[in-house]
Amino acid sequence: MSENLNRSQREPIRVLAVDDDPIQRSLIQARLYRLNAHTTEAADGIEAWSLLRSQNFDLAIVDLSMPNLDGIGLIQCMRGHPRTRHMPIIVITSRSDTAAIEASLQAGASSFLVKPVAWSMFEHHVGFLMQLVRSAKEARSVSRRAMAASLAKDTIIGSLFGDTASNAQSILQNVRSMRQTVATHGGSSLDVQRIESIEAECHGVLASARRALKALHLLTEQVVVGDRETRLSEIVERVVQAARPEALDTGIELSVTLPADDALISCEADAIELALISLLENAIKHAPPESTVTIAGTVHPDGMLGLAVADQGQGMSQDILLRCLSPLRTDLEDLSGHKPIGTGLLLARAIVEAHEGKLEIRSMQGDGTTASLFLPPERVRVSAKAA
């Protein structure tokens, strides 16, 4: 986990330099190179907006006076899109009037510099913003890890605590019954059966404890959040390969449908794979033999990515469905007989919510279950698959 964080800190800041003057762009790129930044150039607002929608940048340096789409129009586009809504924007303009500067700041610019640029001031100004970008990325990473830990704790440990309490209540009921039997009949072979039942319930408590240890291990090792781009097709392929042996054992066919243009996801790939395989294994477990489990990926018009795993099983009861999607249980009344729901769905939910996404489960008894992961537009980029 620390290695992933250190690796992301070593990556250069990605800057988009937008100016219709090629000499000015070259000067900006040279100065940014000295600051260990990776620069992409755009000659006008239209070209810049196309790049911003297809690539990820950390900072934009924008000229105000440009053909086609000027700087203020570009800033307005950026502030209206989830991917670029919070990106720092530095305005560089030859216009020194306060009206132009005020208009750019009202549109959403973070700061400004006036041409002719004092390059020593430029390096100081941009270097300061780049340091803020690095600090913000690190803070987001730490915050997301903490959020993931909190979500997983509330859901997984809450569920396991409910399972353990259910087993304990069953044990107490058996103990009370055994006491009454012994008191009334003086003991018999039935006593032995009761004792065996107690032993079996103790095994259930032990199994719950083991599940808790496993969940805590996954929490500390796997529920992490990153921003490295990974192809959706590669994630799904690895997940299907991991689940295929279990599917073959029961004659279940795995059907995959993905967008025609491959999607790139900014995420912690191992964590997203863990969430997806948790859903897939759960679907295979509950699907009838010789049926089909489907994995479908969709990029919605607003840029959100949906990954749906559907089975043709008996579906989930409303009680289990609510327990999967509810926070920590505090009501321990009448838990006897509740079936454990496992940690797969809860772990998937913690992972996807830590990535600012959400988990939805739709299920009707007798009509199968569809569990869907949704990732926000700012984590999704659609790019034509390389040949």
| Mean pLDDT estimate for the chain | 78
Residue 146 — very low, low, confident or very high, per pLDDT cuts 50/70/90? low
Average pLDDT over residues 360-366: 84
Domains along the sequence of the chain with CATH: 2-117 (3.40.50.2300), 142-382 (3.30.565.10)
pTM score above 0.95: no
What pLDDT is attached to residue 236?
Answer: 95
Segment of 8-17, 172-181, 191-200, 224-233 carrying the highest mean pLDDT: 224-233
What lies within 8 Å, CB to CB, of 214 at 6+ separation is 343
C-beta of residue 41 within 8 angstroms of C-beta of residue 25: yes
225 CB-contact burial (10 Å; exposed 0-12 / middle 13-18 / buried 19+): buried
CA atoms of 19 and 22, how far apart (whole Å): 7
Neighbouring CB atoms inside 10 A of 70's CB total: 17
Q: Which residue has the higher pLDDT, 138 or 246?
A: 246
- Report yes or no: 227 and 265 within 8 Å, Cβ to Cβ: no
Q: What is the mean pLDDT of residues 129-144?
A: 75
Q: At what angle do helices 269-286 and 344-354 cross, to 10 degrees?
A: 150
The torsion region of residue 127 among left (phi > 0), alpha (psi -120 to 50) and beta comes to: alpha
Under DSSP, the state recorded for 347 is H
Closest CA to 354 of 375, 326, 378: 375
Respond yes or no on whether the N-terminal peptide bond of residue 88 is cis (omega within 30° of 0).
no
pLDDT tens, residue by residue, 224-282:
566 788 999 999 999 999 889 889 988 999 999 998 888 899 888 888 888 898 899 88
Residues forming a β-bridge with 358: 374
* Digit-coded pLDDT (tens) for 272-321: 888 898 899 889 988 999 999 999 999 988 889 999 999 998 887 776 67
Q: Is the pLDDT of residue 159 over 80?
A: no
